[in-house]
Homo-oligomer: A and B are copies of this chain.
Amino acid sequence: MGISPAESGSPEKEQQAAGVGILLQIMMLVLSFVLGHVLRRHKFYYLPEASASLLIGLIVGGLANISNTETSIRAWFNFHEEFFFLFLLPPIIFQSGFSLSAKPFFSNFGAIVTFAILGTFIASVVTGVLVYLGGRMYLMYGLPFVECLMFGALISATDPVTVLSIFRELGTDTSLYALVFGESVLNDAMAISLYRTMSIVRKHASSAQNFFMVIFRFLETFVGSMSAGVGVGFVSALLFKYAGLDVDNLQNLECCLFVLFPYFSYMLAEGLGLSGIVSILFTAIVMKHYSYSNLSENSQQFVSDFFHLISSLAETFTFIYMGFDIAMEKHSWSHLGFIFFSILFIVVARAANVFSCAYLVNLVRPVHRQIPLKHQKALWYSGLRGAMAFALALQSVHDLPEGRGQIIFTATTAIVVLSVLLIGGSTGTMLEALHVVGDSHDGHLGESFDVNNGYVAPSFKEDGTSGTGIKMKLKEFHKRTSSFTALDRNYLTPFFTSQNEDDEEEEEALLDERISGSERGGFLGQ
C-alpha cells in the first residue's frame, strides 16, 4: 500500500489511513460491480453477485491480514454494527419495500407473519435447546442455557439482503418470493427482539413470565414500528400533495425531502426503541402507494433510480465489508465441534420452523391456496444467514464474558460464509430442481404478479364447494379485503394523492384495475 511517509500529528495520519481504507473499499466495490456484471452476462449462477462480493472481501482481507498493515488502517475496516445498522441497512430495506408491489406481500400476509413470528420463535428455541443438550452431552462446548437461547435467536435471523439479491437475480414464483422476502424481513425484527430479551434475562436472571414478555415485546415492537412507518408515510404523502413542489425548478427540493422521509422513519422508530427495519419497510410501501404519485414525473423517475443506486451500493458494500472483517477478526477455531453441530442443529431447527408453520398455514388455507411441498422445501433451503446474524454475533462478543461470545461469533461467521457461498451458489440449481423458477426472469418479480399468479390469486367465487369453516373464514377475508379496497379507493387515495382533473380518468382506470386485482388476490386476505 504505497502511502507516503507518515506526516506530523495523529489527526492527519488517521485521516490518511481512513483515506487509504476507503480507497481500498471503493476499489473492491468497483471490482464487485464489474465482476458481478461479467458473471451475470455469462449466466454463471454458481457465483451470484453477493457471493462474489463476499469472496472479494475475504481475499483482500486475507491479503491485508498476512501483510504488515498499519493498525490505524486496519481499524477502518472493522465491521461496526452501528455503521451497518445506521447507514447500510436502511437503504437496502427501503428499496425492498419500495420495489415490492404490495399485492403479493399482503395476499400472503398471514403466512408471512406465521413464519416470521411463530416460526422464528420455534427455530430459536429448537436451536437453543439442541445446542444446550449438545453441550450437556459433551458433543460441543457447553454454554449456559440462556446463552444458548441467545445464540439460537441470533442465528435464526435469515438475511433479507442475501436472500433478496439471489432470488431477484434468479427469478422465481412470485408467491414464494413474497414468502421468503416477507419472512426474512420480519424475522429480523423477531430475532433482534428475542436476542435483546434473552440478553436482559441473562443479566437480571428473572424467571417465569419470560415467555409472555417475549411475545408482548415482539408485538409491541412490531405494531409500534408499523404504526410509526405508516404514519410517516402518510405525512409525506400529505406534504407532497399540498406543498406544491411538483413544479419544474423545485425538483431538487422535492427529491431532497422525499429522500429524507424514509430515513426519518427509520430513525424515529430506533429512537423510540422500536424496530427501524419494520418501520422503514412500511414507510416504503405507503410512500410507493401514495406519496410517489404526488411527485412530478421527473422526480418519480429520479427517486426510483436513486433508491436503486443507493441500495445496490449498500448491498454490495455489506458483503465486501463482512467478508473483509471475517478475514481480519481473530477467531477461536479450537471449537470446530461447536461449528459442526450448530450447522446440523440450525438445519433441523429451520425444518421444524418451515414445515410446522406451513402445516398450520395449510390448515387454514383453502385447497387451491395450499403451500405446496416444493415451496416448503425451497423455503427451508433458502434460510441463508447473513449480515444481521453477523452483526448480532459481533454484539455478543461484547455481551458475553470469558470468550463465550467469541465462540458464538466464530460459529456464526463460519455459518454465514458457508451459507452464502453454498446456498447462494446452489439456489439456482435447487429452484430448478424443485421446478419453482417462475416465468419472470426479468428481475421484476413484484410487478409481474398479475401474469404469474400461481396459487395466490384464484377467484373466490369459484370455490363454493369447500368446507363451511374454511368458507366462512374466506368470506370474512373477502369482506375485509373489499372493505379495505373501498376504504383505499374512497378515502385514502383521494385524501393522500393529488388527482388533477386531467389525469383523473387515468387514475380511475388504474384504480379499477387495482380493485379487480385485489378482488382476485385479496388485499389483506391470508
Contacts and interface: CB of A to CB of B under 8 A. Distances in A.
Contacts of A276: 19
Given A3-B272, A26-B267, A305 B308 contact: no
Interface string A283-325: 0000000000000000000100110110011000000000000
Interface string A393-414: 0010011000000000000000
A478 to B, nearest CB: 39
A15 B260 CA distance: 19
B4 A272 contact: yes
A271 B308 contact: no
A268 interface: yes
Contacts of A273: 3-4, 7, 16
B305 A268 contact: no
Given A3-B273, A272-B3, A15 B86 contact: yes
A264 B27 CA distance: 8
Interface stretch (A128-136, A251-259, A373-381, A424-432): A251-259
Given A4-B272, A12-B196, A271-B19, A26 B305 contact: no
Interface in A195-254: 196, 199-200, 203, 250-253
Interface stretch (A29-37, A62-70, A461-469): A29-37
Contact of A11 (B18, B22, B395): B395
A8 B253 contact: no
Given A15-B82, A27-B264, A273-B16, A306 B306 contact: yes
Nearest to A11: B395
Nearest to A10: B398
A447 interface: no
Nearest to A81: B11
B252 A15 contact: no
A85 interface: yes
Contacts of A488: none
Nearest to A30: B260
Given A8-B203, A250-B37, A271 B86 contact: no
A20 interface: yes
Interface string A37-50: 10000000000000
A8 B199 contact: yes
Contacts of A492: none
Contact of A256 (B19, B33, B81, B255): B33
A16 B269 CA distance: 9
A12 B199 CA distance: 11
A37 B254 CA distance: 11
Contacts of A18: 82, 86, 270
Interface string A471-488: 000000000000000000
A14 B80 CA distance: 12
A91 to B, nearest CB: 13
Contact of A22 (B22, B34, B267, B312): B267
A309 B33 contact: no
5 contacts: A15-B270, A26-B264, A252-B312, A302-B302, A302-B306
Given A33-B257, A37-B250, A302-B306, 13 more contacts: A3-B272, A8-B199, A8-B200, A11-B81, A18-B270, A19-B269, A19-B271, A19-B276, A252-B308, A252-B312, A255-B305, A259-B309, A306-B309
